[in-house]
């Protein structure tokens, strides 16, 4: 193998992903068409609050904050949404051009010693059962365990993978440019039946131009002539336009990859979703995709988790981008300049002066309200981990400071020293901590305090994956299912679960075979919720016996008492060896649990 993972594209998404993978010890390389990080054309102008938080979690937010301008940037259809009252350390956005964002991020990736193979294109790939051969434009190829296409909206990786890109056709096409004009234009914003147009003064005599084109459907790169024609169509003159320093065309096409994964090939960022730039959400969504995917891919590559963990990337991030597409489509509709739409827009603006809608839309656009669907439970479940002030034996600490290494964190708010995570010390950091303040979530306000003395919280390593996990809600995919992750669920929580007699749910198809006489399942013990659910379902089905397979013998020590509690008796069988999904031999110790009389 030339690398564990090859990332195609050193744009915002590819850089962030490569950094995350490297932090997790993965051998990652980037292939990039551009010779350097220079960007031609106009792209993102800033970051939303959640992206700043993500960078803060890696200890690099200050690098960006020191070069940009904090500002209230969230908005919907032209209505500014102030987030200064939100419970985050960054209740603002950051005005920072994409070229500067990429430069700073590339500096971080460089410090992490990620190789970038520049000035070559990925032209295709072939995947087989053990890896992917990636073909390059210079005639060479690279082999890796996994390939991730972060190669933008026209993604070669997506096309070569045969992944559909369904969505909405463009209805409007806009040119944005920095140019010189021979004549004075009409400064400011001008809306007409075609759409929005604007002229603004920039430094050095440059003029910022935005003009909606009469025709949609250009597929080539925009030219000065295209710009001139578009200006004439609107203003009757092109104001003597010349010497563009940047010229970009964008449309309101809204498309999303049908799947973010095809075997060993994954998509992230614009390769997975494109939409009109209104609301400034594209780069932000891509960076957050990368952070969701990074730790999962690392767990799989490092043999800690089965590759089914990668399916949770699509499950969690596809709905996020789908929601972004939806809100941008709605905003584009509201930009249309006719009296009907203007009336509708006025009503939306009015609605957004009311506290509840204002708060909800602000939380949506800033990315602070994203919640992954991990089933029912506490309002915090599946949401971002707040950056709490903690009191620890080593003094005061912020939660985000514990996440700089992108390593999972287990926060024990209960009795100090009570938890023993010896089998996982290589991959989980345990901190005994106290937090005195309230728990507040943007868009939700204060939520009931999650913690009682005997409970723990489990943070997945990354933003938005830091689902708060109460004992019985073992985080999806966080701990390797076949490696006995249940132990982290805490013995106490299991007792609680059993004694509360909670209604277990979630028996997924294929996980167990039920008959009146018994049930057999493998890999079951990796998730206490499912284990208990199966036992309860087995009891309802009058099953005579359940056989539970688990990889780590100690799990039995935890599971057995819980089963007794549920009325089952357990008998440990002798061990054998089997193959985990990650192709590493693991111990496999079945436990036979006869049903209660």
284 vs 492, which CB is nearer to ligand FAD? 284
Length of the chain in terms of residues written: 597
CB of 79 to ligand FAD, least distance (A): 17
x-marked contacts with ligand FAD along 99-138 as a string, rule CB under 6 A? ----------------------xx----------------
Among residues 134, 156, 247, 385, the one that binds ligand FAD under rule CB under 6 A: 156
**What's the start-to-end Cα distance of the chain, in Å?**
55
133 vs 454, which CB is nearer to ligand FAD? 133
- Give every CB contact of residue 326 below 8 A, 6+ residues apart in sequence: none
The answer to whether residue 75 forms part of the interface with ligand FAD (CB under 6 A) is no
Q: Please give the C-alpha separations between residue 382 and each of 255, 379, 386, 505, in angstroms, as whole numbers.
A: 26, 8, 12, 17
CB of 150 to ligand FAD, least distance (A): 5
Quote the tokens at residue 523: 């890999």
Cα separation, 69 vs 60, whole angstroms:
16
The answer to whether residue 142 forms part of the interface with ligand FAD (CB under 6 A) is no
Q: Give me the sign of the Cα torsion angle 29, 267, 407, 4.
A: negative
Place of tokens 């009336």: 343
CB of 311 to ligand FAD, least distance (A): 21
CB of 275 to ligand FAD, least distance (A): 9
122 vs 543, which CB is nearer to ligand FAD? 122
- Give every CB contact of residue 270 below 8 A, 6+ residues apart in sequence: 11, 13, 152, 153, 155, 282, 286
The answer to whether residue 178 forms part of the interface with ligand FAD (CB under 6 A) is no
- Cβ burial of 551 (10 Å; 0-12, 13-18, 19+) is buried
x-marked contacts with ligand FAD along 218-257 as a string, rule CB under 6 A? ------------------------------x-x-------
Quote the tokens at residue 17: 């992903």
- Cβ burial of 169 (10 Å; 0-12, 13-18, 19+) is exposed
150 contacts 13 by C-beta, under 8 angstroms: yes
495 contacts 536 by C-beta, under 8 angstroms: no
Task: Please give the residues from 399 up to 458 whose contact with ligand FAD meets the rule CB under 6 A.
Answer: none
The answer to whether residue 176 forms part of the interface with ligand FAD (CB under 6 A) is yes
73 vs 591, which CB is nearer to ligand FAD? 73
Among residues 68, 152, 549, 556, the one that binds ligand FAD under rule CB under 6 A: 152
Among residues 52, 148, 150, 374, the one that binds ligand FAD under rule CB under 6 A: 150
CB of 391 to ligand FAD, least distance (A): 36
Task: Please give the residues from 560 up to 589 whose contact with ligand FAD meets the rule CB under 6 A.
Answer: none
CB of 277 to ligand FAD, least distance (A): 4
Quote the tokens at residue 64: 């960006």
Task: Please give the residues from 476 up to 535 whose contact with ligand FAD meets the rule CB under 6 A.
Answer: none
Give me the half-sphere count of Cα atoms (radius 13 Å) on the Cβ side of residue 378.
Answer: 22
167 contacts 332 by C-beta, under 8 angstroms: no
120 contacts 142 by C-beta, under 8 angstroms: no
- Give every CB contact of residue 475 below 8 A, 6+ residues apart in sequence: 374, 458, 460, 467, 469
Among residues 282, 408, 512, 549, the one that binds ligand FAD under rule CB under 6 A: 282
39 vs 486, which CB is nearer to ligand FAD? 39
Among residues 185, 277, 442, 590, the one that binds ligand FAD under rule CB under 6 A: 277
CB of 73 to ligand FAD, least distance (A): 8
142 vs 298, which CB is nearer to ligand FAD? 142
Percent of the chain that is helix, strand, coil (3-state, to 5): 30, 25, 45
Task: Please give the residues from 23 up to 52 whose contact with ligand FAD meets the rule CB under 6 A.
Answer: 31-34, 42-46
In the complex, which residues of this chain contact ligand FAD (CB under 6 A)? Answer: 8-14, 31-34, 42-46, 98, 121-122, 150-152, 156, 176, 248, 250, 269-270, 277, 280-284, 286
């Amino acid at each position: 193998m030339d690398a564990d993972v090859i990332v195609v594209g050193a744009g915002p998404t590819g850089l962030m992903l490569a950094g995350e993978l490297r932090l997790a010890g993965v051998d990652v390389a980037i292939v990039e068409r551009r010779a350097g990080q220079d960007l031609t054309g106009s792209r993102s102008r800033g970051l939303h609050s959640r992206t700043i938080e993500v960078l803060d979690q890696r200890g690099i937010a200050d690098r960006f904050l020191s070069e940009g301008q904090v500002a209230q940037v969230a908005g919907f259809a032209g209505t500014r949404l102030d987030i200064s009252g939100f419970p985050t350390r960054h209740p603002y956005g950051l005005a920072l051009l994409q070229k500067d964002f990429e430069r700073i991020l590339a500096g971080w990736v460089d410090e992490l010693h990620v190789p970038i193979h520049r000035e070559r294109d990925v032209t295709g790939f072939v995947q087989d059962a053990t890896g992917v051969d990636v073909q390059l434009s210079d005639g060479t190829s690279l082999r890796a365990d996994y390939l991730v296409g972060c190669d933008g909206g026209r993604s070669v990786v997506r096309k070569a993978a045969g992944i559909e890109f369904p969505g909405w056709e463009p209805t409007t096409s806009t040119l944005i440019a920095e140019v010189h004009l021979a004549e004075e234009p009409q400064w400011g914003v001008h809306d007409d039946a075609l759409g929005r147009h604007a002229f603004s003064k920039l430094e050095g005599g440059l003029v910022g131009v935005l003009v909606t084109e009469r025709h949609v459907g250009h597929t080539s790169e925009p030219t000065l002539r295209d710009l001139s024609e578009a200006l004439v169509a609107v203003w009757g003159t092109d104001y003597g336009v010349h010497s563009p320093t940047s010229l970009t065309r964008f449309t309101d096409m809204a498309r999303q990859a049908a799947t973010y994964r095809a075997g060993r090939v994954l998509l992230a960022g614009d390769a997975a979703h494109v939409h009109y730039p209104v609301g400034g959400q594209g780069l932000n969504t891509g960076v957050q995709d990368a952070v969701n995917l990074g730790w999962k891919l690392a767990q799989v590559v490092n043999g800690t988790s089965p590759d089914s963990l990668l399916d949770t990337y699509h499950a969690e991030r596809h709905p996020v981008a789908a929601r972004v597409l939806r809100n941008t489509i709605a905003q584009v509709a509201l930009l249309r300049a006719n009296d009907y739409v203007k009336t509708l827009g006025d009503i939306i603006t009015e609605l957004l002066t009311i506290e509840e809608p204002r708060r909800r839309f602000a939380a949506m656009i800033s990315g602070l309200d994203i919640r992954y669907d991990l089933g029912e439970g506490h309002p915090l479940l599946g949401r971002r981990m707040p950056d709490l002030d903690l009191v620890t034996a080593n003094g005061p600490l912020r939660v985000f400071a514990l996440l700089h290494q992108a390593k999972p964190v287990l926060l024990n708010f209960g009795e100090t020293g009570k938890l023993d995570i010896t089998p996982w010390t290589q991959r989980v950091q345990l901190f005994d901590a106290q937090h005195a303040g309230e728990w507040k979530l943007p868009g939700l306000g204060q939520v009931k305090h999650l913690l009682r003395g005997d409970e723990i919280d489990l943070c997945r390593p990354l933003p938005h994956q830091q689902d708060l996990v109460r004992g019985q809600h073992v985080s999806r995919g966080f701990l390797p299912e076949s490696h006995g992750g249940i132990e982290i669920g805490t013995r106490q929580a299991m007792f609680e679960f059993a004694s509360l007699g909670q209604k277990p749910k979630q028996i997924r198809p294929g996980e167990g075979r039920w008959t009146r006489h018994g049930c057999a399942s493998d890999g079951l013990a990796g998730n206490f919720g499912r284990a208990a659910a199966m036992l309860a379902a087995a009891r309802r089905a009058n099953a005579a016996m359940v056989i539970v397979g688990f990889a780590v013998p100690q799990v039995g020590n935890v599971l057995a008492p819980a089963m007794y509690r549920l009325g089952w008796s357990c008998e440990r069988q002798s061990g054998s060896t089997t193959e985990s999904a990650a192709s590493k031999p693991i111990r496999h110790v079945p436990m036979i649990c006869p049903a209660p009389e």
